[in-house]
Chains A and B, each alone.
Chain A
Amino acid sequence: DQQVKQNSPSLSVQEGRISILNCDYTNSMFDYFLWYKKYPAEGPTFLISISSIKDKNEDGRFTVFLNKSAKHLSLHIVPSQPGDSAVYFCAADQGGSEKLVFGKGTKLTVNP
């Protein structure tokens, strides 16, 4: 019962180009979405989030888009840098439940 799905296990992008990481969810009660970045042997670190009342949130090179009707969100990284190579987790929360539901992650590789 995956409520948060990241269907692409991996993504490879050239440095300087755009990286687009996708995430789908099934629970329409989710109202807050987050992206975490994880390097090997480290814990996930918070990257960017979006509330369900918005459809876009931007922070530097990172932009998250939310399409509530499609229950889909995406993370855009522009321009991609080799240091962005990591596993990216999408997570969702319902009404401040303090219980984030995570996707399986997408491994992004940015090639120099």
Chain B
Amino acid sequence: DTAVSQTPKYLVTQMGNDKSIKCEQNLGHDTMYWYKQDSKKFLKIMFSYNNKELIINETVPNRFSPKSPDKAHLNLHINSLELGDSAVYFCASSRLVNGGYTFGSGTRLTVV
């Protein structure tokens, strides 16, 4: 009964491909996020959505497009994948930012 689930857990793909990562939360939270953990282990926010509306977009290339069909889902679509996109992507949700983040288990994306 996972609170924040993201699929797939592992994704290996070739440069230039388009791929999507899905995220769903069953906590009833209003806000969802995508974070990227790069090779240097930094966890950095990419996007945040509140009730399906984009709140934060942190200078992420246009190739990354989040989509929130409803407040329980926030999917991440990546076009024209590049080697530098290889990272672990974490989805998270919160009702309130102060301590309320619940993270998914991550999607390890490897671009070859």
Physical interaction between A and B: yes
Decide if A98 touches B48 in the complex (CB within 8 Å): yes
Q: Which residue of B lies closest to A95 (CB)?
A: B97
Q: Give the complex CA separation of A42 and B55 in angstroms.
A: 26
Q: Please, which residues of chain B bring their CB within 8 A of the CB of A49?
A: 98-99
What is the number of residues of chain B that contact chain A, defined by CB distance less than 8 Å? 29
A40 to chain B, nearest CB (A): 10
Residue of B nearest to A2 (CB): B42
Which residue in B9, B31, B44, B94 is a CB contact (below 8 Å) of A102? B44
The stretch that binds A, out of B64-72, B76-84, B100-108, is B100-108
Instruction: Assess the A43–B103 pair: CB atoms within 8 A.
Output: yes
Contact at A98–B56, with CB atoms within 8 Å?
yes
Asked if B97 and A44 make an inter-chain contact with CB atoms under 8 angstroms apart, the answer reads no
Asked whether any CB of chain A lies closer than 8 Å to the CB of B43, the reply is yes
Residues of B within 8 A of A (CB): 4, 9, 31, 33, 35, 40-45, 48, 50, 55-56, 58, 90, 92, 94, 97-106
Give the 3 A-B residue pairs with the shortest CB-CB distance, closest first: A43-B103, A102-B43, A49-B99
Listed A/B pairs (9) with beta-carbon separation below 8 Å: A41-B105, A43-B92, A43-B103, A93-B98, A98-B97, A99-B48, A100-B97, A100-B101, A101-B45
